[in-house]
Structure 1
Amino acid sequence: MSVAEPRRIVVFRHAKADWPQVTDHERPLADRGRMDAAVAGRKLADGGIPFDLALCSTAIRTRETWKLAVHELPHRPKTVYEERLYEASPGELIAVLNELADDVQNVVLIGHNPGVQGLTEVLSGSADGDAREHLDRRGFPAAAFATLSFDRSWKSLEPGTATLLDYWAPTD
């Protein structure tokens, strides 16, 4: 099934986390992470994608990343905190995306590596410009995001059906 306008998925890795004596799920952002999350939010705003939905892992570092990034956007999308995104594989992330309603056009998914990088690599059957080269060279560091596009229903999203449009990572 084809859709009138391409759908877009922004796959966003949480910003740099601190390592205090807490469980992995409870790790907060480091100072650098708080700065990078806001910068990533400005870059997302520059992209001009009107997000309908944000799917965010329940981990503290992803929630803090999204809270800082979303303040930079001109429109705040509905946010769903989804436990299944924590430590999810690319296949598990695709399964969550497959459940989205047809009226959702553009989504941002805030999650963790290696799942977010794997998801980006698995979904992108093609790439525009040098986006793939940048992704291959940089990997998916904290606060990085990739923008993918596809022209099918959410239910038919599967490996190789998207185009990698853009990739951004903070500078070291």
Structure 2
Amino acid sequence: MATLLLLRHAKAEPGSGPDERRPLSGTGRDQAGRVAEHLRNRRPDVVLCSAAVRTQQTWQRLAYGLADHGIEVAGIEVVVLESLYRASPRAVLAAVSEYGGDAGVVLVVGHEPIMSMTAAALAGPGSREAGTHVVAAGLSTASLAVIEVDSPWHEVDSGHARLVEVLHTPA
């Protein structure tokens, strides 16, 4: 069984320029580092990260947090993709299919509403009802949807996975 982690970026500064250039706020930097608590037993093998500044900063702070917990991050494959900014759930799944390979855990660092839409689309039989309600309402900043997948990454499709948990990181 493989695990797909869908993470909404941490809290960003208010916009005053191109949206994709917005950095994390001070609160967001702290929040991103604390996401590592949720991944202590789910070290990603592959990270797919939107090209937006705030998503890349979220991953960087998360990686520091993992390292602080003694988790090796040097071997994690990180792929920054323009296609994940303003993506559709189908585009997220295409990226996972292309880059997932034989990874046991894939982490996607992206944006709303795409992260919650992707989680909702994948949630099939066996998904936790409470989790499906949360993703239907949308993921707050630095929230993580944990999805279990029984098929190879290239076969993952809507309704064929289990949403097992939604983890929040308070601001």
Partner of 1:66: 59
- Note the residue ranges of structure 1 that are not aligned, 5 or more in a row: 1-5
SS at match of 2:29: helix
TM-score, normalised to structure 1's length?
0.88
Code of the residue aligned with 1:25 in structure 2: it is E
- Note the residue ranges of structure 2 that are not aligned, 5 or more in a row: none
* CA drift at 1:50: 2.9
Q: Percent identity?
A: 29
Answer whether contact 2:49 2:55 (CA < 8 A) is retained: yes
Code of the residue aligned with 2:57 in structure 1: it is E
Answer whether contact 1:146 1:168 (CA < 8 A) is retained: yes
Partner of 1:105: 104
Answer whether contact 1:14 1:65 (CA < 8 A) is retained: yes
Structure 2 residue 151 is matched with structure 1 residue 158: no
Partner of 2:47: 54
Answer whether contact 2:93 2:157 (CA < 8 A) is retained: yes
* CA drift at 1:12: 0.3
* CA drift at 1:78: 1.5
Distance (whole Å) between structure 1 residues aligned to residue 161 and residue 93 of structure 2: 12
Distance (whole Å) between structure 1 residues aligned to residue 101 and residue 114 of structure 2: 24
* CA drift at 1:141: 0.6
Code of the residue aligned with 1:105 in structure 2: it is G
- Superposed CA RMSD in Å reads 1.7
Partner of 2:32: 37
Distance (whole Å) between structure 2 residues aligned to residue 80 and residue 86 of structure 1: 13
CA gap of 1:129–1:117, structure 2 versus 1, over 3 A, is closer
Answer whether contact 2:145 2:166 (CA < 8 A) is retained: yes
TM-score, normalised to structure 2's length?
0.88
SS at match of 2:83: helix
